[in-house]
């Protein structure tokens, strides 16, 4: 394996990721990297071998741009896409940066803010469609509270639902063919954000008018902030047929939003995630929603972007080795025994089966006495990942 990114790997980055100025909560007015235009960022991504670029409405067109400025930016952006061959698989709306969103967007207590947010999302969908985006992400960054004295969460859910129902109909009315992908995050920037986990989003989707149009965009960092197992969240989304997009990065448990290079910190979790995506045959974008360290210049940003993709491909190769390793596979076969005698109790309920199972006598102690060799298996994986196998 040469670990070189190719279009078929579907590696994408947001304009906001490689375009991050390196500003943080304690240095908002001291960016360490000067701004680059969207067209320049596309060329940077082309240089490192990415397949696609995604954007928020205002990553491409600044909030206060004139129509003439907007046209020029789009023209330059389009030219850079053509030159590099990059595509735009996903677009999204910034409903969290501007002052007007200080109390949320779709769930704000102010009906003017709610209406403005839906207007902004429709315009964002128009913009994404101009560049061929087929996935539209909704991250409700400020849909939440610092104190629940201000809002009833039931109102929050109702407003969020109404907004999405409206936008699903808008999608149909324009014939855009978008699939919506809802992105959960437990907190930051709000004290608490509604629908804090991928699991919450999955349950919420079933309450919408067009559940078939809506899936999820789970993010590694966000599930880790909530102390959860990211791969398990992704698996549940996949099982529900709802894994429409994914945000890859890295994040230590229970910290603020770190948005690190994919695989920087939690190798094992990243490995299991890549293995899962490759084993099930996920065909969507592998989107990196991450930032280079504040210590980096734009050369460092390229190192960061190359690193995200390279690490993914290394884990993909390791997953292949895991699946082809005779000792590991033999052990796996041993620890997941065939049904044998239990087959007659398995599957759908029948009254006879239930009666037979109730009457069956199990040797509980003998069953429990069997060692499962999980220690051995996990060490084989560790050896494999460390490159000594």
* Active-site residue, from 24, 57, 59, 209: 59
Closest CA to 256 of 185, 304, 181, 182: 185
Per CB under 6 A, does 250 bind ligand GLO? no
Report the b/e string of 234-250 with b at 16+ CB within 10 A.
bbbbbebebbbbbbbbb
Among Ni ion, ligand GLO, none, the one that 57 touches (CB under a kind-dependent 5 to 8 A) is none
> Would you give the binding string for ligand GLO spanning residues 278-297, x where CB under 6 A is met?
-----------x--------
Per CB under 6 A, does 139 bind ligand GLO? yes
Structure tokens at 291: 């930032």
Per CB under 6 A, does 20 bind ligand GLO? no
Strands, DSSP E only, in 100-211?
A: 135-139, 144-145, 179-183, 192-193
Among Ni ion, ligand GLO, none, the one that 264 touches (CB under a kind-dependent 5 to 8 A) is none
**Strand pairing of 192-193 and 179-183?**
unpaired
Structure tokens at 13: 């980055």
- What is the C-alpha end-to-end distance of the chain, expressed in Å? 16
Among ligand GLO, Ni ion, none, the one that 117 touches (CB under a kind-dependent 5 to 8 A) is none
Per CB under 6 A, does 127 bind ligand GLO? no
Per CB under 6 A, does 257 bind ligand GLO? yes
Per CB under 6 A, does 261 bind ligand GLO? no
Considering the complex, state which of residue 33 and residue 291 has its C-beta at the smaller distance from Ni ion. Answer: 291
Considering the complex, state which of residue 50 and residue 137 has its C-beta at the smaller distance from ligand GLO. Answer: 137
Per CB under 6 A, does 57 bind ligand GLO? no
- CA 280/CA 199 separation, integer angstroms: 19
Structure tokens at 217: 């965009």
CB of 75 to ligand GLO, least distance (A): 25
Query: Residue 285: how many CB atoms within 10 A of its CB?
Result: 25
Considering the complex, state which of residue 57 and residue 257 has its C-beta at the smaller distance from Ni ion. Answer: 257
- CA 2/CA 211 separation, integer angstroms: 41
286 in helix, strand or coil?
strand
Among ligand GLO, Ni ion, none, the one that 223 touches (CB under a kind-dependent 5 to 8 A) is none
Residue 275 CA, chain-centre distance (Å), reads 16
Closest CA to 138 of 108, 168, 109: 168
56 in active site: yes
341 in helix, strand or coil?
helix
CB of 198 to ligand GLO, least distance (A): 12
Considering the complex, state which of residue 245 and residue 318 has its C-beta at the smaller distance from Ni ion. Answer: 245
Structure tokens at 305: 């972007």
Per CB under 6 A, does 247 bind ligand GLO? yes
CB of 256 to Ni ion, least distance (A): 9
Helices 38-48 and 67-84, interaxial angle, to 10°?
10
Considering the complex, state which of residue 179 and residue 185 has its C-beta at the smaller distance from ligand GLO. Answer: 185
Give the interface size with ligand GLO as a residue count (CB under 6 A). Answer: 10
Per CB under 6 A, does 160 bind ligand GLO? no
Chain residues in the site for ligand GLO (CB under 6 A): 56, 92, 137, 139, 183, 185, 219, 247, 257, 289
Residues with a known catalytic role: 56, 59
């Amino acid at each position: 394996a040469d670990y070189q990114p190719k279009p078929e790997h579907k590696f994408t980055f947001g304009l906001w990721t490689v375009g991050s100025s390196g500003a943080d909560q304690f240095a908002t007015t001291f960016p360490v990297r000067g701004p680059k235009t969207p067209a320049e960022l596309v060329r940077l991504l082309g240089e490192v071998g990415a397949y696609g670029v995604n954007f928020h409405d205002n990553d491409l067109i600044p909030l206060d741009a004139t129509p003439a400025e907007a046209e020029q930016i789009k023209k330059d952006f389009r030219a850079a896409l053509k030159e590099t061959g990059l595509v735009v698989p996903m677009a999204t709306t910034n409903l969290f940066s501007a002052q007007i969103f200080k109390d949320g967007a779709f769930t704000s207590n102010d009906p003017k803010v709610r209406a403005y947010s839906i207007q902004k999302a429709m315009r964002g969908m128009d913009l994404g469609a101009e560049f061929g985006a087929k996935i539209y992400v909704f991250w409700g960054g400020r849909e939440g509270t610092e104190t629940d004295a201000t809002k009833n969460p039931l109102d929050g859910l109702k407003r969020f639902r109404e907004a999405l129902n409206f936008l699903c109909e808008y999608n149909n009315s324009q014939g855009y063919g978008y699939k919506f992908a809802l992105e959960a995050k437990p907190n930051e920037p709000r004290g608490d954000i509604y629908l804090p986990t991928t699991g919450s989003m999955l349950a919420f989707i079933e309450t919408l008018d067009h559940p078939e149009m809506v899936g999820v965009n789970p993010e590694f960092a966000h599930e880790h902030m909530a102390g959860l197992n990211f791969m398990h969240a992704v698996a549940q989304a996949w099982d529900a047929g709802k894994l429409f997009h994914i945000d890859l990065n890295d994040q230590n448990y229970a910290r603020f939003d770190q948005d690190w290079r994919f695989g920087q910190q939690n190798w094992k979790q990243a490995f299991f995630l890549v293995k899962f995506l490759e084993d099930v045959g996920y065909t969507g974008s592998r989107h990196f929603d991450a930032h280079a360290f504040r210590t980096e210049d734009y050369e460092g940003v390229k190192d960061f972007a190359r690193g995200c993709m390279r690490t993914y491909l290394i884990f993909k190769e390791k997953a292949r080795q895991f699946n082809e390793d005779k000792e590991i596979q033999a052990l796996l076969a041993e620890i997941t025994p065939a049904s044998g005698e239990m087959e007659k109790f398995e599957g759908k309920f029948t009254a006879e089966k239930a009666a037979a199972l109730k009457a069956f006598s199990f040797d509980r102690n003998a069953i429990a006495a069997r060692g499962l060799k999980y220690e051995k298996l996990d060490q084989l994986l560790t050896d494999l990942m460390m490159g000594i196998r």
